[in-house]
């Protein structure tokens, strides 16, 4: 996706400044009802008082879990900016992109409630995107500002691609 695109704009404009920094890697098994149990160190920081989180489609083989209020603020801010641009006539030549964004927003995320504040039922539509059958392993990963649920094959492929750049990325972000 080109830098500055509508999709990038809507989700990057107001990245939350969370106090949390989630990390860790955990194997879990998806049971016969598409449930997984999150470890407390990943579940507690992202769950609100009602037990709600946002589940989002990130990339093929990966779902993410976010604090509901932070996620909704990001979406509201991004959509509000896009609406302003539409009303000002600044997106008339980009209706196709606006429609594409609308389709992606319609299917990208939804609110789910964690049972006992740690057990997630992966919703239909998200199961297919994760591409992991029942009674199979998934990888739960603390990704600093969210929790990611990975198909193990997709996770390993991502690690193979990105791990060589770890040292440089760490230095860049920590300098």
Mean pLDDT of 19-33: 93
Which token pair is 61? 């083989």
- In the chain, where are the structural domains located? 6-174
Q: Domain 6-174 is in which class? A: alpha beta
Selection from 129, 166, 167, 171 nearest residue 151 by Cα: 129
Q: What is the widest separation between alpha-carbon atoms in the chain?
A: 51
Pairing between β-strand 136-142 and β-strand 25-30 as defined by DSSP bridges: antiparallel
H-type helices in the chain, by residue range? Answer: 6-12, 40-46, 68-87, 95-108, 126-130, 152-162, 166-174
* Confidence category of residue 101, pLDDT binned at 50, 70, 90: confident
Q: Provide the whole-model pTM.
A: 0.83
> pLDDT by residue (tens digit) across 59-71?
999 999 999 998 8
Selection from 103, 106, 117 nearest residue 52 by Cα: 117
Q: What is the mean pLDDT of the chain?
A: 88
Pairing between β-strand 147-150 and β-strand 62-66 as defined by DSSP bridges: antiparallel
């Amino acid at each position: 996706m080109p830098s500055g695109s509508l999709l990038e704009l809507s989700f990057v404009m107001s990245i939350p400044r969370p106090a949390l920094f989630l990390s860790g890697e955990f194997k879990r098994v998806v049971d016969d009802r598409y449930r997984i149990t999150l470890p407390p160190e990943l579940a507690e920081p992202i769950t609100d008082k009602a037990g709600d989180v946002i589940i989002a489609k990130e990339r093929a083989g990966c779902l993410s879990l976010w604090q509901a209020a932070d996620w909704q603020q990001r979406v509201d801010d991004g959509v509000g900016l896009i609406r302003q641009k539409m009303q000002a006539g600044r997106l008339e030549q980009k209706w196709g992109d606006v429609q594409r964004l609308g389709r992606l927003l319609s299917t990208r995320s939804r609110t789910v409630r964690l049972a006992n504040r740690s057990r997630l039922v992966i919703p239909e539509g998200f199961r297919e995107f994760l591409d992991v059958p029942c009674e199979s392993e998934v990888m739960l990963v603390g990704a600093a500002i969210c929790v990611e649920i990975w198909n193990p094959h997709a996770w390993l492929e991502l690690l193979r691609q990105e791990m060589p750049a770890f040292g440089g990325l760490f230095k860049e972000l920590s300098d």
